Amino acid sequence: MPADAIAIQLKLDEISPSLAALADDALKKRILLAMGTVIESTAVRAFDEPSLRPAAWPARKKSKASNPLLIKSGNLRQSIHTQVQGSDAVKIGSPVIYGAAHQLGSTKRGIPARPFFPVVGDQLTGHVQAEIKDVVDALIGKAGGG
């Protein structure tokens, strides 16, 4: 080999523990839970922190209501949850039937969209993508020994 060349030699047994850790179902589930938790946390906080909303909420029509928008009983905000499904999916949502109407809007009911989940179209917002990347990188780094 020429003097100015570089060579790297890896033996399988030197890297296999890190690779095995990355393929572990338990790690995949931790990653999914972490991703879901980031989205859930952002959605819950968006009720009080307008900067976390994917779009500005239209103002309330004239009303005597004194509660903040979308917070009457707190049921919708409190119902948001994360559920890991196997080792390849995570579900973040709310069983509250009117949650979708507020997230997406409902012309039938005259409800404008007031999105609280950090989604635009079918994509997560950039802030949440970045936060998820940081969390996933940290978990993978720990699992791989980094």
Q: Does 90 reside within a domain?
A: yes
Residue 77 lies in a domain: yes
User: Are 75 and 94 within 8 A, CB to CB?
Assistant: no
The number of distinct structural domains making up the chain is 1
What domain range includes position 90? 18-53+71-143
Containing 124, the helix (H) or strand (E) segment is strand 123-124
Q: How would you class 112 by CB atoms within 10 Å of its CB: exposed for 0-12, middle for 13-18, buried for 19 or more? A: middle
**Residue 30 belongs to a domain:** yes
Q: What is the mean pLDDT of residues 81-102?
A: 89
Is 31 part of any domain?
yes
Concatenated DSSP letters for 59-94?
PPPS----SPTT-SSSHHHHH-EEEEETTTEEEEE-
pLDDT surpasses 60 at 23: yes
Q: Residue 33 pLDDT > 70, yes or no?
A: yes
**Cα 55 to Cα 71, 109, 112, distances in angstroms:** 17, 20, 12
Residue 5 domain-assigned (yes or no): no
Q: Lowest mean pLDDT: which of 17-21, 30-34, 95-99?
A: 17-21
Q: Is residue 9 part of a domain?
A: no
pTM: 0.78
* 8 found inside a domain: no
